[in-house]
Amino acid sequence: MDIVMVAAGLALLLGGGEGLVRGGVALATRMRLPMAVVGAVVLGFGTSMPEMLTSVSAALAGAPGIAIGNVLGSNIANILLILGIAAVIAPVPAGSAGGEDRAWLAVATAMGLAVIVIGASVGRGEGALLLAALAVYIWRQLARDSAMEPVPEIPGMGAAKIALYVLGGLATLIAGAWLLVEGATGIARALGISETVIGLTVVAVGTSLPELATSVIAARRGEAGLALGNILGSNVFNILAILGLTAVIVPIPVPPGLSAVDLGAVAAAAALLLALLATGRIGRGAGAGFVALYAGYMGWLALGAA
């Protein structure tokens, strides 16, 4: 039954996230907002909503391992697995990510790891600090493209249809997050696996499915640079928005199952990505190396859970 709940939860998260993003983009274009707002705010929050609702639900359900594991695991999967697959399909040019985008990845990663390592819990004060950094990040994104023309309205998307997509997507996400957390927690208890490992693996990859789909499609269309932007933005939102908002709603105890290796994997994945971007591009060989590293990390988690 728990497996069925996890599968159903993942399906609802994927479908709900797609609906929310479509409705949000259509609403933004109907309001004649600039592309900066659509990309930085609407799409940023929309694609991160599965992770956000899952982490909030897990924290409220008393499963901090899933709440924190989901955030950290998603960032590891985004870089090593998703960007790795995209680079195997088509080399990713470093020029598609500006220096400020790379700097924000480093800042968000450092802040996220710091608030987890420093204390026994990520409290409301730390959460507010992360949200303040998020506000600066969004402001910078909007300021960079303030002169851009508004995005044309999407044909066939009237007010009623937009409302259906937004409200229906949000309701579906809430239901999917609840099912995923309940099912994942049940599996962890039944198998004697820590909630942290479940959060770092099944939950993290499941909630990253929107990013996986977006990046793979972009790479196949010869727009691998979009995949890089998607990953960088998603990782910043995961830490600043999701971890920050979750901690403000309910303080999150740092789970005992979270090891130095897990935290090191988050830092190493970000550092490796930034180092490769400094060389000019992420080629197919590097992409395959990313995927191999992710497989190795998953293998290490499996051995530890055995």
Task: Report residue 229 as tokens.
Answer: 């932007």
Cα Dmax for the chain: 55
CB 46 within 8 A of CB 20: yes
The residue range of the domain holding 182 is 2-305
Question: Sign of dihedral through CA atoms 136, 141, 145, 149?
Answer: negative
CB 48 within 8 A of CB 241: yes
* pLDDT tens digits, 68-115: 999 999 999 999 998 999 899 888 887 766 788 889 999 999 999 999
HSE-up (13 A, CA, CB side) for residue 169: 24
pTM: 0.82
* pLDDT tens digits, 153-166: 566 677 788 778 77
Q: What are phi and psi of 165, to 5 degrees?
A: -65, -45
Query: How many domains, in total, are found in the chain?
Result: 1
Q: What is the CATH number for 224?
A: 1.20.1420.30
Measured between alpha carbons, how far is 144 from 62 in angstroms, rounded to an integer? 40
> Percent of the chain, pLDDT > 70?
84
Give the distance from CA 97 to its chain's centroid: 18
